[in-house]
Amino acid sequence: MPTQYTPLANSSYLDYDSYRTGALSPTGTGATGNFTINVALVLDRANDPTALLHSNWGTRQQQLEALNDSGTLWSTYGANQANYNQVLTELGQLGIPTVDQLDPVNGYVSSAASRTIWVQVDHTNFATLFGTPLVLGHDQAGHAVTYWQGNLSLPQGLAALGVKGLWFDTDMFGTVLQPSVGGSLAAPSQGAQGIGNSAPRGDFALYPQDIVQNYYNFPLSGALWDPSSGRAVTTGTIGLLEPGVGNELGPNTPASEFQSLLNAYRQTVGISTPGEVTTIALGGQATPGSGERSLDVGVATAINPQSPLVLYAGSGWHQHAHSDAYTAYQAAIWDTVNNPEVVSSSYRFGTTLAAPGSPFLFAADQLFVDAALRSITILTSGGDGGSGGWTGDGITNVITTRGSFYDLLVGGTSLSTLAAAGADPTLAAILTAAMAGDPATIWDLVAGGLTALPASAGPGSHFAEAVWNTYALNGTTFANNGYFGNLAGAGGVDSSRPVPSYQADFGLSPTTADPAALMGRGMPDVSAASGGNMFYSVPQIFMNGLHAGGGTSAAAPLWAALVSQFNAIFHDQGLPRLGYMNDLLYIAAAIAPASFNDVTLGNNVSSFALGGAFSDADTGTAITPTGFGYRAGPGYDLATGLGSPNGLLLARALTDIAHSQIWFSSIADVIDSNGHGGWTSGADQSLLFQTMSDAVTHVGVHLGPDAFGFFSKAGASFAWTSRMAEQSLQADFDPALVVLFDKQAQGSVAEAHLQPGEALAVSINASPAQAIQAGLSSSFGFADFLSGDGAVRVARPVAVAETADGHNDQTAIVRLRQGGQDDLSITFYRVDDLSGTINGLHPDDAGYLAARQSRAYQMTSGGSSITGPGYGHYEQTALSHVNAGDLVAMQLTNNTHGNSYSAFAQANETLNGQHVGHLWNYGLNTWGWEDTLGGGDHDYNDMIVQLDFTSAAGHGWIA
């Protein structure tokens, strides 16, 4: 009986690698020559893990740990073993050999757990497996193309057994484009296409650890980084994907040579111990040298000298293997010997533009699901081809095959020191304004990570960070190899899949910046220095000497090393390892925005069509720039994601979130969704209603059947934000910046008491305001109601002590930054409920003062109050004997004027018949005080206070 075939939906040649290019299918039916290709047949999972992976991180990691410990993880989420075996049997009947049968030692992963069977097909049996032959034809431009007509099919039995995905380990197939489509000309400006990328190339290159310790505040620095200190933290294994390359240095070079060159590089950058490196290359490795490999290794080993590295060559070159990056991902994810906990790839898949619903995208997506299920954090370089993605189809392109929700995508920036800014004409205007002390300019730079007043800062201090974009136009010619080159951070929207929940919850609706305006997964998630005005001093291609390397290829291993540091800290605090953690990053950005440096400068605009009046300098290829692309801006943007890391602040936020999700899920949120787009109070609680707007606004607050309203004054231009307040709580933040931005009035703050379940709505100027990120922040003490006219933050005036691992008798770190000129002191005390009650006494009752004194926490610095560090300055102390779930309130005393203020407005003085609120919430357990009777200048920064209940845990590395 002839074999019956089941077509695979969306598996045409255009679905393979030409999503959205607008090209027509190739034509022609010529005979191909001889060929041999290895193909992955990817089975469906026995059970769908989506619900598990969409639960919050704490639930997810605990369940995965339990499944793994019981040995049932892969019988649950791998392929059905009987189906898998039957597929092997049927392949045998069809005469299709598996690669394992041809060579039991190969570079592929075939197993029921990985749901993958690698088989080999050639010109004699391609049609036996796929129901249609490969043919030789040509595309619209007349280039020869080996392709298939219509959809691929599979023998009915294989399809019925759940074979759903395909991956070809070959470069025979590729993207098809329309010839000379022209596109609309968007006349680009002459010269640099970006800003902040034009310092002389290579003048600013540093050792990787110096970049991350000086500019990204990585948590492990100094003795915690240096292996010779005896105190260096042991960080986990990092997997680096080096398909086809591994540790190869040339045909006559022994593997020991790689080890000694690695050690020599470590010596050069100041690491006295040898590196630990393993190479997995069962299918061979042939490329004699690789700048990419040397860059990955250099970045990872210099930042995390204690992390063992494993290099994955993937399928290699034996048995017709072609070392597609897909095979290296599989090798790393399924390495149950070395078990890398973090895996970084700077290689793109051979297939970059697979269509939604295609078996190719299915295969790619399920790789990242495997990684998430194995609790591996996978990081991928966002790509270096700007918004066009090297593809001359006129529109914006991102690599769909790497767009998985479970992949952490890393984009590119150009980081400028003060010295680099001086050498970059595109930054001249910003530098001049900053040196002259222009507050607006400096305010934006602080949001980008600046911590010192430029006029008095050293030449190596952080100045600015922009989108990495070194494209430049001279007449009608683009320098280097133009938009085909690796010169700008990729970024944009993968419309082949929906918006991930972590981006939707953040309030994003990423939309392509081309006429199609399609929504999808925004990329990148995060970013880091990739070139322009900052390069990495890393080994050259043969691992000897030094070279100034860059690209998002450097940013990905940088972030991998950071996640590995986070894992070490998580382990030290008794937390599970991070694994898939994209959602935690978006929560951190929502509740502790200073966890990221916000990149607001530059663009990655570099989309183009083939043909036209422009060309690149090297090849002369004619192109037409179409002007589509993405610009950086405040907050998340499609050129740099959430921004570059402030590693220490991000570590604190992530550990806090993790302990909260695992140990304190039963603590009532500030507000809960009512299921119909509205909100209810999560508890019996007092709440602050603080208005943030640059204009006078009327705020309406609707509580159950009641309502109240108030007019809020306009906030000043540099009224402190959560980001600014949190940044000021870094010990090295320049007091001059605190003074420069002091006395900037906030809008008005009101206070109200709510019952649990009571409806809550907020309007601004009579328009309903939406609590867009409330799902992320409401477990952490606040929720912002936003409208076009401003925002109202609803926040608790007390902290819930969500201690590490839910332990009692803990130490809580207190961080203080004083933005007031008077002599101030502060005390912390325990209350019985979220309205500040103590033994039935309310904050405005007689006798409360004495009750409060009896509940005061002892400071580790002595006594029950702490005196402020003085105007502009920073101080850190701690509370002792804090128990899990303690409700911590505070009071401020102005010793200069002899006044005390309560966190609860009803206990404070009145002005025009209203009690004066003296407290302002600045995000995760962070508040600011107004120190003057009647509200003074309303700047609420006279004492910035942060309570940190988790960072003293373990060795206290991030305290």
CA distance 522 to 572: 33
Could you tell me where the DSSP H helices lie in 271-357?
A: 291-303, 325-333
Looking at 153-161, 616-624, 701-709, 817-825, which segment touches Ca ion (CB under 5 A)? 817-825
70 in the Ramachandran plot: left (φ > 0), alpha (ψ -120 to 50) or beta? alpha
The sign of the CA dihedral 712, 716, 721, 726 is negative
Contact flag: residue 522 with Ca ion (CB under 5 A): no
Smallest CA-to-CA distance from 872 within 727, 740, 726, 724 is with 740
Looking at 144-152, 195-203, 820-828, 878-886, which segment touches Ca ion (CB under 5 A)? 820-828
Q: Which of 500, 820, 872, 954 binds Ca ion (CB under 5 A)?
A: 820
Looking at 573-581, 789-797, 872-880, 941-949, which segment touches Ca ion (CB under 5 A)? 941-949
Q: At its nearest, how many Å lie between Ca ion and the CB of residue 824?
A: 10
Residues from 711 through 770 that contact Ca ion (CB under 5 A): 742
Site string for Ca ion, 871-910 (x = CB under 5 A): ----------------------------------------
**In this complex, which beta carbon is closest to Ca ion, that of residue 374 or of residue 938?**
938
CA distance 947 to 866: 13
CA distance 504 to 93: 48
**In this complex, which beta carbon is closest to Ca ion, that of residue 305 or of residue 382?**
382
Beta bridge partners, 469, equal: 488
Q: At its nearest, how many Å lie between Ca ion and the CB of residue 939?
A: 4
Q: At its nearest, how many Å lie between Ca ion and the CB of residue 505?
A: 18
Q: At its nearest, how many Å lie between Ca ion and the CB of residue 787?
A: 22
Could you tell me where the DSSP H helices lie in 237-358?
A: 255-269, 291-303, 325-333
Residues from 609 through 638 that contact Ca ion (CB under 5 A): 637
DSSP character for 115? T
Site string for Ca ion, 635-674 (x = CB under 5 A): --x-------------------------------------
Residue type for position 942: D
**In this complex, which beta carbon is closest to Ca ion, that of residue 88 or of residue 739?**
739
Number of residues that bind Ca ion (CB under 5 A): 12
Q: Which residue has the tokens 């906990």?
A: 341
DSSP of 902-927: ESSGGGS-EETTEEPP-EEE-STTEE
**In this complex, which beta carbon is closest to Ca ion, that of residue 576 or of residue 936?**
936
Looking at 128-136, 244-252, 483-491, 935-943, which segment touches Ca ion (CB under 5 A)? 935-943
Count CA atoms within 13 Å of residue 204 on its CB side.
27
Q: Are 942 and 931 in contact (CB under 8 A)?
A: yes
Burial 622-641 (b: 16+ CB within 10 A, else e): bbbbbbbbbbbeebbbbbbb
**In this complex, which beta carbon is closest to Ca ion, that of residue 322 or of residue 723?**
723
Q: Are 945 and 824 in contact (CB under 8 A)?
A: no
Smallest CA-to-CA distance from 386 within 665, 168, 686, 625 is with 625
Contact flag: residue 942 with Ca ion (CB under 5 A): yes
CA distance 552 to 330: 22
Q: At its nearest, how many Å lie between Ca ion and the CB of residue 230?
A: 40
**In this complex, which beta carbon is closest to Ca ion, that of residue 370 or of residue 939?**
939
Q: At its nearest, how many Å lie between Ca ion and the CB of residue 639?
A: 8
Within 8 A by CB and 6+ apart from 374, the residues are: 333, 579
Contact flag: residue 465 with Ca ion (CB under 5 A): no
Q: At its nearest, how many Å lie between Ca ion and the CB of residue 720?
A: 9
Q: At its nearest, how many Å lie between Ca ion and the CB of residue 489?
A: 12
Q: Which residue has the tokens 């009145």?
A: 910
DSSP character for 257? H
**In this complex, which beta carbon is closest to Ca ion, that of residue 378 or of residue 639?**
639
Q: Are 931 and 943 in contact (CB under 8 A)?
A: yes
Structure tokens at 377: 């954090």
**In this complex, which beta carbon is closest to Ca ion, that of residue 199 or of residue 639?**
639
**In this complex, which beta carbon is closest to Ca ion, that of residue 384 or of residue 942?**
942
CA distance 586 to 395: 28
Within 8 A by CB and 6+ apart from 849, the residues are: none
**In this complex, which beta carbon is closest to Ca ion, that of residue 546 or of residue 740?**
740
Q: Which residue has the tokens 């005061």?
A: 856
Q: Which residue has the tokens 């070159």?
A: 317
Looking at 172-180, 550-558, 811-819, 892-900, which segment touches Ca ion (CB under 5 A)? 811-819
Residues from 112 through 131 that contact Ca ion (CB under 5 A): none
Q: At its nearest, how many Å lie between Ca ion and the CB of residue 265?
A: 33
Q: For residue 228, give the 3-state DSSP assignment.
A: helix
Residues from 550 through 609 that contact Ca ion (CB under 5 A): 598-599
Q: At its nearest, how many Å lie between Ca ion and the CB of residue 819?
A: 4
CA distance 41 to 804: 45
CA angle 805, 806, 807 (to 5 degrees): 90
Looking at 254-262, 302-310, 829-837, 937-945, which segment touches Ca ion (CB under 5 A)? 937-945
**In this complex, which beta carbon is closest to Ca ion, that of residue 758 or of residue 930?**
930
Q: At its nearest, how many Å lie between Ca ion and the CB of residue 742?
A: 5
Q: At its nearest, how many Å lie between Ca ion and the CB of residue 701?
A: 25
**In this complex, which beta carbon is closest to Ca ion, that of residue 881 or of residue 897?**
897
Contact flag: residue 227 with Ca ion (CB under 5 A): no
Q: At its nearest, how many Å lie between Ca ion and the CB of residue 743?
A: 6
Q: At its nearest, how many Å lie between Ca ion and the CB of residue 593?
A: 11
Contact flag: residue 939 with Ca ion (CB under 5 A): yes
Our CA dihedral for 184, 186, 191, 194, rounded to 10 degrees, sits at: -110
Smallest CA-to-CA distance from 270 within 232, 235, 216, 238 is with 232
Residues from 251 through 310 that contact Ca ion (CB under 5 A): none
**In this complex, which beta carbon is closest to Ca ion, that of residue 576 or of residue 935?**
935
Q: At its nearest, how many Å lie between Ca ion and the CB of residue 917?
A: 13
**In this complex, which beta carbon is closest to Ca ion, that of residue 720 or of residue 780?**
720
Q: For residue 89, give the 3-state DSSP assignment.
A: helix
**In this complex, which beta carbon is closest to Ca ion, that of residue 564 or of residue 941?**
941
Smallest CA-to-CA distance from 959 within 655, 597, 563, 696 is with 655
Residues from 831 through 870 that contact Ca ion (CB under 5 A): none
Cross-sheet strand order for the sheet of 782-787: 749-754, 685-692, 790-795, 782-787
Backbone φ, ψ for residue 651 (5° rounding): -60, -45
Within 8 A by CB and 6+ apart from 623, the residues are: 392, 478, 482, 483, 608, 609, 610, 611, 612, 614, 615, 616
Q: For residue 411, give the 3-state DSSP assignment.
A: strand
Q: At its nearest, how many Å lie between Ca ion and the CB of residue 712?
A: 17
**In this complex, which beta carbon is closest to Ca ion, that of residue 454 or of residue 936?**
936
Site string for Ca ion, 913-932 (x = CB under 5 A): -----------------x--
Contact flag: residue 103 with Ca ion (CB under 5 A): no
Could you tell me where the DSSP H helices lie in 334-403?
A: 359-373
**In this complex, which beta carbon is closest to Ca ion, that of residue 526 or of residue 791?**
526
Q: Which of 174, 403, 819, 935 binds Ca ion (CB under 5 A)?
A: 819
Residue type for position 92: G
Q: At its nearest, how many Å lie between Ca ion and the CB of residue 908?
A: 14
Q: Are 942 and 728 in contact (CB under 8 A)?
A: no
Q: At its nearest, how many Å lie between Ca ion and the CB of residue 416?
A: 16
Where along the sequence are the contacts to Ca ion (CB under 5 A)? 598-599, 637, 742, 819-820, 930, 936-937, 939, 941-942
